[in-house]
Amino acid sequence: MIGSLWITTGIALFTGCQGVSRPVSNAGSALSASSSTLSFGNVQKSKSSNLSETLTNTGGSALTISAANVSSSGFSVSGLSLPMTLPPNQSATFTVTFAPVSGGSVSGTLAVLSSADNSPLNIALSGTEMAPGQLSVSPGSLSFGDVVAGTSSSLDGTLQATGSSVTISAASTGSAEFVLSGISLPATLSNGQTASFTVTFQPAVTGAASARLSFSSDAANSPTAQTLSGNATTAPQHSVDLTWQAAPGSGVVGYNVYRGSEPSGSYSKISSALEGGTTYTDSTVAAGQTYFYVTTAVDGSGNESGFSNHAKAVIPTP
C-alpha cells in the first residue's frame, strides 16, 4: 500500500511594482485662443482694421487645424496655412481683418476646425461701419492781390476733418505760379483735428493768374478745393527827391550832390553837372536799398565847400 503523497507548491506573492515603468496616458487634445472675442470698433467704409489672434495647443498630443471659417461678410483671415499641425504647447499667430461692406454694426463668428477634443473653437467677431468723414478748407479762397513779377507772396490756410478721421493722400494746384508747402502728405487727421499749410504765389510774368488747390482724400467730399488768384505787376520805378537850403552868400553858383551807403562812409558824386537850384531827383536807386545823401556848394572860382549834413532814404521792396 502506497501512502498518500502531498506536494506543496510555493506561491510567491509580490506587492508593488518596484523597478517596473508603466506607460502614462496622454491627456486629450485641446486648442485655445488668445482671445475669445475680437472687437474692431468703428471702421470707415473703404478702410480696414486688423487684429492678431493666437491659437495654442494646450493638450498633450499633436493636433491638426483643418479650417478657419468666418460666418459674416466683412471679416477675413490671413496668415494661416491650412491644414497645419500643432505639437503640444506650440502656437500659431494669424490676422483677422474687418473691412466693412455694409452700414451699421456687424457681428460674426470665426470657427476654427481641428482634431482637438473641443473643436470647433469659436471666436466672436464684431465691428461697426462708420460713414466717411468730411474735409474742409479755410478760407475758401486765397487772393494775393498785386505781386511784382519775379518776387513772391505767401498766405496760410487750414484743413479740418469732421465726422470721422480723414486721410489726405495728395494735393495739387496745377500751376507752377502757386506752390503748396507746410504740409507733408499723406497725412491723417482725426475727427476735429486741423492742419495748416502755406501757398506761395511766385509769378514769372505780368498779368492775372488763377488756380485751384485740390486736396485728394478718403473724405466723402473729396476732392476738397480752394481757389487761388493773384495779379503779377511790373516792378515800380523808385526815385528819391532831395531838397536843401541855399548856401549863404552871393558867391555860390551851384551845388554838387553825393550819395553813399553809410552815413559816415565814402560818398560818390551823382550829379553830372552843378545844380543851379536846391532840388535834385535821384532815379538810379534800387529796391530794398538804403542811401545817404550830402550836398556841397561851389563858388564862381570852383571852390567847393565841405559836405552838408546827410539825409537818409530807404527804398521800398519792391
Query: What's the pLDDT at 241?
Result: 96
Cα 199 from Cα 141, distance rounded (Å)? 11
Cα 280 from Cα 244, distance rounded (Å)? 9
Query: What's the pLDDT at 80?
Result: 96
Query: What's the pLDDT at 5?
Result: 35
Overall CATH class of domain 134-233: mainly beta
Query: What's the pLDDT at 242?
Result: 97
Query: What's the pLDDT at 153?
Result: 97
Query: What's the pLDDT at 27?
Result: 54
User: What is the mean pLDDT, run by run of 10 residues, along the chain of 318 residues?
Assistant: 37 38 54 97 88 97 97 94 96 96 89 97 95 95 96 97 95 97 97 98 97 96 98 93 91 96 93 95 94 95 94 91
Residue 266 in contact with residue 189, Cβ under 8 Å?
Answer: no
Q: Cell match 474692431: residue? A: 40
Residue 100 in contact with residue 108, Cβ under 8 Å?
Answer: no
Query: What's the pLDDT at 26?
Result: 43
For the chain, how are helix, strand and coil distributed in percent, rounded to 5? 0, 50, 50
Which residues belong to CATH 2.60.40.10 in the chain?
31-130, 134-233, 240-314
Query: What's the pLDDT at 191?
Result: 94
| CATH match for 240-314 among 3.40.640.10, 3.40.30.10, 2.60.40.420, 2.60.40.10 | 2.60.40.10
CATH number of 31-130: 2.60.40.10
Query: What's the pLDDT at 250?
Result: 80
Query: What's the pLDDT at 318?
Result: 77
pTM over 0.85: no
Task: List the one residue out of 5, 122, 103, 133 whose CA is nearest residue 53.
Answer: 122
Residue 254 in contact with residue 304, Cβ under 8 Å?
Answer: no
HSE value, Cβ hemisphere, 13 Å, CA-based, for 49: 18
| Residues 6+ away with beta carbon under 8 Å from 104 | 128, 129
